[in-house]
Amino acid sequence: MQTLKLWIRMIFRQWYKKLVIAAIFVLGLYCSLQLLDSGKHKLRHSKNTQTTHHSSESHGIVEIDPENQIPDNRNLYKVPKEDIHIDMCPACFGKEICTDIEAGLVEISKNSKTEFRELIMREASLHKTEKVVVSSVTDALWNKFDKFICQNASKSFPCDVSAAISTGYLTSNQALTVDGLRNLYKVLDKSKSEAVLPICATNKLIHELISTFDGNGDRQLNQEEQGHLMTGLLLHPSYVVLKFQDAISSNLPLPNFHGTCGRLAVWEGGMTPLKDHLQESFEERAGLAAQLLQLVDDFQNEDPNWYFLYTEFSYNSFSVTNEGEVLLTDLQDMIIIDKTLFTQAVGPHSTQSERLCNEMCYQKFTRDIMTSEYVTNVCSQVKHYGQLMFAIVCKEILSDLEEHKTGGFFNYDGNKVHQRSEYRGLLHSPPEKDKDNIEELLRDCVQETLAGGRKQAVEELQETLDKYLTYNDIDDEKNDKNDDDESEKDEEEGNDIEINLNCSG
């Protein structure tokens, strides 16, 4: 027995490497056979799955990944030709996106039609990948416009509008002048507040509008191009603002513009109303509020040549993208002002940069800009009243204070009945540590007590809100670091597993 054990040890010492190799070879052969059998089983399972899938398709059941698909095609339809009215051009908005629309690449979502301030909006998709808004104006407003064109061309209504506009006032040299643009609202018997974009018009603004609508690049507007411009200014200034921003390569927080076709305009969609974010955490709402304050600053200072005045801020004015960016989406009341007017300023503000201004002061300014015969003088003072935009945003959107609950910032006749705001302030329920400070800054933003007090309050409010953004960034960094650590841990564990022989397949 001893001799047998001795022989075994000697053989093992001399042949153990070969034995180990042989064992590994046998084990490897066994694993290969197992994996081959597993592969055949998976192939059979795959074929069975495909068969089931085809069977499901035959019954009209199609699986869709909701993260990567813009609505089920059964809920979309191509833009009807009768909605485009290309035959009315140049009494229309333009033709930039007609190729896509005619090819069916713009599809409208069923039951998505909304009407707001004589505008009609529909949710849609572009190239099946991008959410957009297709907009126009109400039939009543189009009829009013068409009737004017026929009468202006001494034709009975209805008439061939596309021919009539080319012989009427809107495509004349007189219309495309400083006085012509400032008084354009009179064409449809509108109030000046219904067509405000060009009320501070200068020759510089005219040249920029020509550049914006100059489709053939000859640095002037032919009758068709001028027809597009005038139609837009009178009926749908929102898209004119978006087109203007593209032309000047500005970076204002406005939707991306895609183009027009006939009596339709298309721009960025897929956003949610600002009011839908009122239940978010205070940190999230602080981020949105900070963007609103920055937006007002951008309107005044972003572009070196143009000042954008907007006085109708409300929850309905804003939308939020999927990335959390706040955009101004109701642009009907935007006034575009040539900043060279400010160097011509005369009057009480020309020599002083700060002056106490609250509700009565702003009432007088807005009344003057809408009614004064000497509108150039009023427009040249705009930069001194631009803080009005901060006051309205703070009162109408940010503040949840009871004293700011009444709707409307202006009280022209002194007897206006104020309606309570429909929504809570965006900065409602602030953390206790900042509550008193935030509320006091909002009061100073709406009603300043010292000259320059509003500007200082806005700056301090921005700083306070930025702290919450910083906290979010730190939390995100921590989460990212934790994710990285988990990934590294998983990778290490994966490496450990790969070291061991595993025949599970």
Q: What does the H/E/C string look like for 85-135? A: CHHHCCCCCECCCHHHHHCCCEEEECCCCEEECCEEEEEEEECCCEEEEEE
Distance from C-alpha of 328 to C-alpha of 495, rounded to nearest angstrom: 51
Q: What are 98's two structure tokens?
A: 């007609």
pLDDT digits (tens), the chain, 505 positions: 443 443 444 444 444 444 445 555 555 555 555 544 444 333 333 333 333 333 333 333 223 233 333 444 558 999 999 999 999 999 999 999 999 999 999 999 999 999 988 999 999 999 999 999 999 999 999 999 999 999 999 999 999 999 999 999 999 999 999 999 999 999 999 889 889 999 999 999 999 999 999 999 999 999 999 999 999 999 999 999 999 999 999 999 999 999 999 999 999 999 999 999 999 999 999 999 999 999 999 999 999 999 999 988 999 999 999 999 999 999 999 999 999 999 865 555 444 456 789 988 998 998 999 888 889 999 999 999 999 999 999 999 999 999 998 766 655 444 445 566 778 999 999 999 999 999 999 999 999 999 999 999 999 999 999 999 865 444 444 455 555 555 555 554 444 434 343 444 3
pLDDT at residue 117, rounded to an integer:
87
Is the link from the previous residue into 237 a cis peptide, with omega within 30 of 0? no
pTM metric for this prediction: 0.77
pLDDT at residue 446, rounded to an integer:
95
Query: In 302-387, where does DSSP find H-type helix?
Result: 359-371, 375-379, 382-385
DSSP assignment of 243-300 = HHHHHHT---S-PPEEEEEBTEEEEE---EEGGGGTTS-HHHHHHHHHHHHHHHHHHH
Q: What is the dihedral of CA 194, 199, 203, 205, to 10 degrees?
A: -60
H or E element that contains 205: helix 203-213
Strand partners, 306: 338
Q: Residue 448: name the closest of 370, 376, 357 by CA.
A: 357
- 316: Cβ contacts below 8 Å, ≥ 6 apart: 116, 273, 275, 330
H or E element that contains 43: helix 2-58
CA 478 to chain CA centroid, Å, is 30
Q: What are 272's two structure tokens?
A: 């949610």
- Distances from the Cα of 174 to the Cα of 179, 184, 193, 232, 248, angstroms: 8, 11, 22, 17, 25
Q: Could you tell me if 124 and 109 are in contact, meaning their C-beta atoms sit under 8 angstroms apart?
A: yes
Per CATH, is 272-472 categorized as 1.10.510? yes
pLDDT at residue 6, rounded to an integer:
38
What are the domain boundaries of the chain?
Answer: 75-268, 272-472
